Amino acid sequence: MASQTNGNGTGTGMFVPSSVSPPPGFPDPSSVPMAVKVEELLSQPIPEDEDMDQLESEEILEPEWSLPPSKMVQISIIDLFTGVQTGEINTSPDYQREAVWNPTNQQNIIDSIINDFYIPPLLFANRVETDPEEPEVEYSVMNVVDGKQRLTSIVKFMSGSIPYVHRSTNSKYWWTAPEGRKVPILPDSWKRLFESKSLYCVQWEQLDDNLEREIFKRVQYGMQLSPAEKMHAIASPWADLVRMLSKQYIASGLSESIKWTRSRGQDFQFVAQILYLIWRPERFQFPSAIILDKWLRNEDPPSDDFRRESINLFMNYLNITLDKETSYPFHGIADRLAPVEVVMIGFLLHCIRNTTPQVKAREIDGLRRATRAAFADIRSNTRVTKFMFDWIKGAMERSYGAATLRGSVNGKSPNKKRRRDEEEYRPGATMGMRPGF
């Protein structure tokens, strides 16, 4: 290759091929006729494109919407740590992922901070919240839109849960000694140095809920999110109802009163699956992730009747698990409930909601025992869910009689009011309050 020169003999920095003979068997390029010469192509006028006029329209190029201005700031490690500890920094807004980094990843970010490696900015949505118990009291909170894993790692390190691993010696140094252990403690000078370091942070003020979720969704592009975590970021009236029920009856209720296999974001998914089932109970259809995602995006809000029915269902669910007389189905069969059991028990409670707590407990016990006798692996596949739906139909027949079940399942209502109730049982409409359904 030879360097190309300009008129004064200086190199242009570009490279052009030297004069070489073509390889054996290949024709000389100069002897190959060209259909159109380059000069002719360059001299031809560019044809007018109707689309060009459209692209020049300011109306089309005008953005539909945009984020309000943000500000970039640096916040010291000690201030970030203190903010998380005091609650001024909220690492767990309802759309956020759980802490999923393993100890190695957490230790790596600590090493990067100590050794001044680049750390991507943390993203915060700053809000002014009102105290529910004292409406006149307002306080500021910084919702973590992106950066939860980094902040969690910092808090764990400074709380003595994970060590700093020195790369050269592979020695471990702890901020504070874990209870009952004698370990090397990080020198005070290193602690002061670590606390004084800062991370870049991008902050938005008073974003509405939809924009906050949209930022979260976009920064997660390319990351492996579970279907449940993706649903958690949906902004809609139905998703809001799911979040409210999950926070009120799962996070501080059912998660403590019963044991079940839970993974990232599944509380939200469990509640959404139960609501979908009671939204159209006559279908006896267990929703796939795709169906559930589409349903959650419905912008028509749930009716007041449906909200009340949903709240009553989860109140009953929680009460049954807390009462010694009715909680036995959750403890005497298997150590943990399978996720599909958690959902189908919720649907069962809806279908026999007009029965006594004792009857409900007996049917829950029967459902769990029958399912586990029939299947070694309890998963939400077609075979298992069909078996459980059939059991629930039997529970309805035992509770209300065969006529009620046939009328509900087949749509053969005994009167016009029953048919009207069934037709109106959809989002935004009044929910039928008939026995069994």
pLDDT, one tens digit per residue, over 155-199 is 999 999 999 999 889 899 999 988 878 899 999 999 999 999 999
Q: Which residue type sits at 345?
A: I
372-to-142, 170, 317, 359 alpha-carbon distances in Å: 46, 48, 21, 20
Sign for the CA dihedral angle at 172, 173, 176, 180 comes to: positive
C-beta of residue 125 within 8 angstroms of C-beta of residue 142: yes
Residue 14, pLDDT above cutoff 70? no
How many angstroms separate the CA atoms of 301 and 304, rounded?
9
Residue 47 has what pLDDT?
A: 53
Delimit the domains of the chain by residue range: 71-224, 237-423
**Percent of the chain scoring above 90 in pLDDT:** 47
For 164, phi then psi, to 5°, come to -90, 130
Give per-residue pLDDT as tens, 98-122: 788 889 999 999 999 999 999 999 9
- Classify 75 as helix, strand or coil: strand
Residue 414 has what pLDDT?
A: 37
Residue holding tokens 């919407």?
Answer: 65
- Classify 126 as helix, strand or coil: strand
pLDDT higher for 138 or 242? 242
Q: Rounded to 5, what percent of the chain is helix, strand, coil?
A: 50, 10, 40
Lowest mean pLDDT among 27-41, 202-216, 323-337: 27-41
Structure tokens at 318: 């929680």
Residue 220 has what pLDDT?
A: 73
The DSSP string of 303-320 is PHHHHHHHHHHHHHHHHH
**Average pLDDT value for residue range 50-76:** 69
Residue 417 has what pLDDT?
A: 41
* Confidence tier at 255 by pLDDT (50, 70, 90): confident
Lowest mean pLDDT among 75-79, 97-101, 122-126, 338-342: 97-101
**Helix segments in 87-208, DSSP class H:** 103-114, 148-158, 188-196
C-beta of residue 336 within 8 angstroms of C-beta of residue 267: no
Residue 364 has what pLDDT?
A: 96
pLDDT higher for 372 or 52? 372
How many other β-carbons are positioned within 10 Å of the β-carbon of residue 265?
A: 22
Whether this prediction's pTM lies above 0.75 is answered by no
Helix axes 188-196, 103-114, angle to 10 degrees: 90
Residue 258 has what pLDDT?
A: 79
